[in-house]
Each structure stands twice: as structure tokens, then as C-alpha cells.
Structure 1
């Protein structure tokens, strides 16, 4: 039986960061990956593929230039599945090569196979040739990620009825699309296909969606989606989904309405990929969604030498936070002191247009009874926005009336996930409105929106 200081089950963002951190501390590390190559869900079916697909669509469709050249402008007249798959393949190959090199450089051993516990410290790894590799570890980190929720009532065929994994494994451009589930994944794919002028219907059983985002930003986002022809059905459940003899899919809603599309994407939830781990043999259990409970500060499970990180522990399920969780778990496992975590971290939703947010939204500020003022900037008000042909996009900033401190930043539009980091830095450094008013921003840039929004708030604040 091989012995390691740390065995990491899963090679996604959390597993990669934890493995490298432990190796930097001089520990013997083994990373186990269920797929043939490393990278986890993030590289193979999640973060990287979906963002690559988005960038491909925006480039080939000419989306970013339509503000100047009109809605009929195209870089490529007809976009097909091969166009999407070509760039996707190149990007994924690069990501895997970089990760393999990183593991090799840090002397981290990787094994392809399905891991399962045989005891609190013992793991059996089922390899492709049918043999088991038996290992024991002083510390273990579980970061197996999630898999799409696939209810029995949905007739998945991985062609006309697909989940969020399958839609990037074999990309194609349908003549019409129904998306069930208006979470982050559903919203991203619905808007990506809409940018290719595919007629899209988005179905969400709740009355609202993306409830952690500022409502004013969501209202603006929904207006933009409807303005370009997307149909949004909220507050109504799906009664049944049927695939016809012609291959088209009919979705019947609880209110009797039907939606007939060439493809259906079911994106209503994901489940922790813990079924194969045989957690009972190490003293752990998962909840009904396959998630593992941990101490949020240390990432320890109920079994102190076993840690869990990434999507398998639930919210916020972001690649960025998963990386940090992996690092924290490795540091705690081997006694390295940790600085206090920053109070605020950004969320990025790679829809078309992008949404990014950090800090409190207006609903939270009101709920806490904080006296505040709001500043708004429209991207079309900036010179850079006009140069880029932007007709939409906004930045919303919230400031305390008592202390003038920044409370939150919420951005909708081109470059939102990049722009948010300025607000993140000021927020975590407890900066005030005066930072934005007194400092100079490059001209012309979209970042000027920070000064415009700050001045907008300042104009209404007591002098």
C-alpha cells in the first residue's frame, strides 16, 4: 500500500490549488482524477468550456460590433457545431497541458481512476485495466465537484434533450432552444445561444431568479433579454417533457402552455459527485444533494483529517472561491497559519451581457437599516462605451451616508467581470466615495464609470 501525506480526490480548481500548496510545504501528494486527464469539471465540462463557447459565439456572431453595424451584422454567416468545437478543443488541450506541467513541476503524482474509501485513511483507486491501486494518507481532501441533476421525468437522449455537460461535449447550434432552470448555468447558456439569434425560451418555476444579484440590475438584464426576443417564463413549473417522432421536443408547462423546440437544455440544479466514494467507510455522509458539510473556516469535515472543498460543499460554487478553499484546506491540514479571509469576494456570471457583483446589494442594505445613496453610470455615457458601440450596460454603486464608505458594486455589461475588481479592492480596504472622485482613471476606459457613478451619488448626498 502506497503512503502519502495528502491524497486529493479531484483535480479541479480546489484540488489543483490544494495539491500545489501541500507540495510547496514539502509534502508527498497524490491527486486522483476520475477522467482520463486532469482538470475536473471546471476544465472539461464547466467553467472553461462554457466561457470558451461564449467567446467563440461573441466573435463569430459579430455581437460586439452590432452597435455600429446593425443587428444583421455577422462575422460568419452560418455558425455550426464544428465552429464551436474547434476553439473548444484547442482551449481545453492547452488548459490540460498547463495543469499537467504544473503537477509535474511540483512533483505531484497523478492517477486516473475512481476513488473510493475503504477506511478512514485508506482509499482504493479503480483503474481502467480493472485493477485497484491501494493508498493510505495522513490527510485527505475531497473535491470531486458536481454532476448535472437528471430527473427521471426528463427524457434525456444527449442530442435533443441535454444537460449542461453534454451541451459542450458535442456542441451544436439548434434552430430553437428551451432552457429549464434560470440559475447561473441556465442563464449563461440561454444568453449565449440567443446571441447567435437562436430563438430561446427560458423557464423558471420560481417567480424570480438570481436572487443574490441586485434587483435593479436584474430588471435591466431581463429588459435587455426580452428586447432581443428571448421569451422568459417565470413562476410556472414544467408538467412534462416529450420528444416527438420528428425529433423535436415539446415542453408542457403547469399552466397548459406548450413550448416546441429543436433542443431542450435541462439546467435545474447539480448534485455532488459523491455516490462512488463510499463515504460511510470513512465515517462521513452526504446530504440529499450529494454535498458534504464542512467547517467554513477550516474546510474540515466531521472526520478531522478529511477535508472537502469546491462545489461539493455547496454555495458559492465558484472556480475562484474553490481555489481559495483548496489552499485553505491544505494550509490548515499541515499547520500553516492563515491570514483572515477578505470580507468580500466577487461573483461573475458570464451571460451575454456579463453580470458581476461584490458587496451588499440594495435589498441587503435596506434590510440592515443602513442609510445609503446610490450612484448609477451607463456605459453609453463613457467615451469608451461609445467607441465600442455599447448601447447597454450599467454600473450601480452603493455608499453609506454616515461614513461615505462603499457598500457594494453591481455591474451589467461588457467587461463586468474584469471591472468589478476595482470595486472589490476599495471595498475590502474600507474605501469611501472620495477614492473614486479624487483619483484619475485612464481615458477613455469603461472604468471611468466608477467616477461617473460616484459623482452621481455625491450629487445627491448631503453637503
Structure 2
């Protein structure tokens, strides 16, 4: 008889935790999942990816209605309050929770609610919601606790007009003017959402460019688009202080600028949820950002303790977290489901969307790779003209001698969907990865996929 209660305990029920648990259970491990919430799904479902993308979709639908010439003479412009779009997001959250709860029940995975911490190498202490404690022993552990917004100690996040990317979901008004500090993925997405709701938005960027990790041209396109819709973008500005008053806030920047607004949102950095795990008890230590170091098999320095998802850092995407969690239990069970994750597509749900995979122009130039560019502007495609979503571009980077696809960058409606067509071609081996694929195969017409054919022709015409 084993002296372990479980073969595997997973701490966290977000994407990486869920996939680790499901894959482990399917390999006949005795699995338990521990989470602070009574409802599964983790931060991804309750505070991150799902609610923000649901908010974005609702806002985008209203924007499409208001600019559709077919309705211009039939109805007044429609405007939703922030509370209205929050309600639509909550419906999606409820659906996600119900679906994911069925996964656990169907696979006989035990769910434990409480705050987990290590007691020793194989023992986890769980503080239950009523204050009682329970202890569980397991052969293996997966730390999948995710991350939370970084909170500078000098900011009073208890003030009713001061928010981070988690608490903004509880905002019960629609600000006439909001200041967002931090122009990374989260900051840019919420700038799009509030701008779409009709709010005046100041987006404060500590860096020189929006989304500096993206292809320069795509970053510039987003900046131009946001500014064209009234977003005030301030680059190279550093935070000094924020003061909260009854009816407004005042943000002071190191440059001396002061901005008065109805609300302030901090969106600059995240930290791993590891501070309550008592990692010292098992000889582990998180870095200054609360993240845990792992090897290529998601194994920590403690052989039977693994970690996956946001808590290990890059790429901090829900899509990658699912694959990481599945790979972790693949390592534990040796069931053939492990894979090393190297290339991950980026999806940024601004309005319009951004998505990319592979190298940027800057990277290829620095590496002295002889590349060429093929472009298709959405305004020139029949499908975009039909839908009215004419803002955007598909950009293909390819080797001018081998015609191998090196990078794909898309800005526009459904960019995150469109990207996957090219991603599939980039993954081909034995000469299958070539921009010529898009000329040698027929695409449905009219579709957005046709943009690949247009971009391929545009690029190959540059080769002499």
C-alpha cells in the first residue's frame, strides 16, 4: 500500500493546471487539484484571458454596428456601459466554469479548495475556507499557480478609483476619462476596450514604442490606429505618483506632467503567485518576479516538483500554458505526450487584433538573413470590404533564395485566426515550408485566407 494519498497534486486550476491534471488522470494517475477558488478555471477564466476577451468582443460588436452604413439611417448610435459589457463577460465565465467542472468530474479528479503550502518534499498543507487544515501526501507535484498584477507599494489600490488588471473587472462605472499606465499587452487591450466604450484614454508607456517585442511596422500600425481613434499615447514616461480624490485622480509623471482623470489603471508588470507556497520547505526559491526556474521538461531543482504556466515566465500565454501542463504530466507518466515548446504564436486582442509568429524584420536584419516581404492590405480584399473590417495588413517575411517562410505578422480583424494558416505551413519540413504554397493551392473566395495568396504574389514579385 502506497503511503501517498495521490500520485499527482496540481496546485492551480488554470490552463496549465487543468491540462496537467486531465492528462495525468487519463494515464491512470490518482490526481487532485487544489485551488483558492471554489470555481475552477484559475485566473485565466475569472480575471484574465476570458473576461477581457469577452469585454473586447462586446465592445467590438457595438463599434461595428455604429459604423455600419446600413444602419446609419435606421437607428441612433448604440452605446454600452462598462456594466453592460461586464454582464456579457460574466455569462461566458459561467459557461467556462460549468464546462471545466465537467472535465474534472468525468476524469475522477478530486478538487480541493483552500490555500496550499508545502510542509516537506511530499506533503502539502491546505488551509480550508473555514480555517481548518488538511494535509495530503503526493508522489509528484505541479505548481501551476499563475500570476497576478505587480502592485507598487506606493500606490493605494484600495482607493475606489485606482485599479489593476484584476480589479478593473469590478469597476461599477463607465469612466469619461481613464489613465492606463503600462502599454504592454494588457494596457493596449484595455485602452482599446475603454476607447470603444467612448471613454477618453491616456495610455502611458514607459518605453519608446508600443509592444516593443512585435514587428516594428505592426507596432506602428496599432499606435497610428489608436491615436486615430482619440487615444492619447505618451511614450518614454515614468510613474512618480498617483493621488486619489472623491471624484478624480491625479497622475504625476517624472517628467513633471500631471494628468487628471476619473480613474487610473496600473498595467505594468506581473508577479508569480509563489509567496504563499512555503517553497523554502522543499528547497526551492522563486526569483524577484515570483517565478520558478525549470528545465526543458518543466522540472524544478526538486526532481518530483514541476511548474508550468505564468509561474515560470515566458511566454505567459494561456495557449502555451495548456501545452506546458500536458507536457508536464507527459513527463511524469512517460505516455508520449511531452513536447518541447519553442515557437508560440502571439495573439493580442486589441481592436483590431494583432498576431504573429516567427522572426521580425529587425531580428532578420540583425542576423543578416536575406529576406523579402509580401503584403496584403485588408482594404484590398473582397471579404474585408464585405464585412467592413478594412483596417489591417498581412505581412509575410520569407527567405529570398529558398522562399522559406520566416515570420508572419498580422494586424486586423480576426488576425489571431488568420495567422494559423501560415503557422501550419511554417511547420512543414522536407521543403514544404515555402511561400509558393499559397500560389499552388486554391483558397475559397471571398475569404480572409485569400490574403495569403495576395501577399505571396506581392512578395515573389519583388524577387529578381
**Shared topology, TM-score over 0.5?**
yes
**Counterpart-to-counterpart distance in 1, 2:456 and 2:173:** 44
1:74 Cα offset (Å): 8.1
Query: Are the aligned partners of 2:331 and 2:338 in contact in 1 as well (CA < 8 Å)?
Result: no
**Counterpart-to-counterpart distance in 1, 2:65 and 2:304:** 50
1:339 Cα offset (Å): 6.2
1:91 Cα offset (Å): 1.0
Mapped pair 1:448 → 2:428: no
SS in 2 for 1:118: strand
Gaps of 5+ in 2: none
1:63 Cα offset (Å): 3.1
1:284-323 pair list within 5 angstroms: 284-295=284-295, 297-323=296-322
1:63-462 pair list within 5 angstroms: 63=64, 66=67, 68=69, 77-157=78-158, 159-170=160-171, 172-244=173-245, 246-295=246-295, 297-338=296-337, 340-341=339-340, 343-430=342-429, 431-462=433-464
**Counterpart-to-counterpart distance in 2, 1:285 and 1:342:** 24
Query: Are the aligned partners of 1:62 and 1:75 in contact in 2 as well (CA < 8 Å)?
Result: no
1:205 Cα offset (Å): 1.3
Query: Are the aligned partners of 1:85 and 1:171 in contact in 2 as well (CA < 8 Å)?
Result: no
Query: Are the aligned partners of 2:14 and 2:41 in contact in 1 as well (CA < 8 Å)?
Result: yes
Name the TM-score, length of structure 2 as normaliser: 0.95
1:143-192 CA distance string (max 9 Å, x none): 00011111122222353110100111345321111000011111111111
1:340 Cα offset (Å): 4.9
SS in 2 for 1:275: coil
Q: Residue 196 and residue 312 in structure 1: after superposition, are their counterparts in 2 closer, same or farther (change >3 A)?
A: same
SS in 2 for 1:433: coil
1:11 Cα offset (Å): 0.2
Name the TM-score, length of structure 1 as normaliser: 0.95
**Counterpart-to-counterpart distance in 2, 1:170 and 1:293:** 35
Query: Are the aligned partners of 2:180 and 2:266 in contact in 1 as well (CA < 8 Å)?
Result: yes
Query: Are the aligned partners of 1:148 and 1:270 in contact in 2 as well (CA < 8 Å)?
Result: yes
SS in 2 for 1:62: helix
Query: Are the aligned partners of 1:292 and 1:312 in contact in 2 as well (CA < 8 Å)?
Result: yes
RMSD of aligned residue pairs (Cα, Å): 1.9
Gaps of 5+ in 1: none
Q: Residue 85 and residue 209 in structure 1: after superposition, are their counterparts in 2 closer, same or farther (change >3 A)?
A: closer
1:341-394 CA distance string (max 9 Å, x none): 465321100111100001111111112111011011110100011111133111
Query: Are the aligned partners of 1:200 and 1:230 in contact in 2 as well (CA < 8 Å)?
Result: yes
**Counterpart-to-counterpart distance in 1, 2:76 and 2:28:** 51
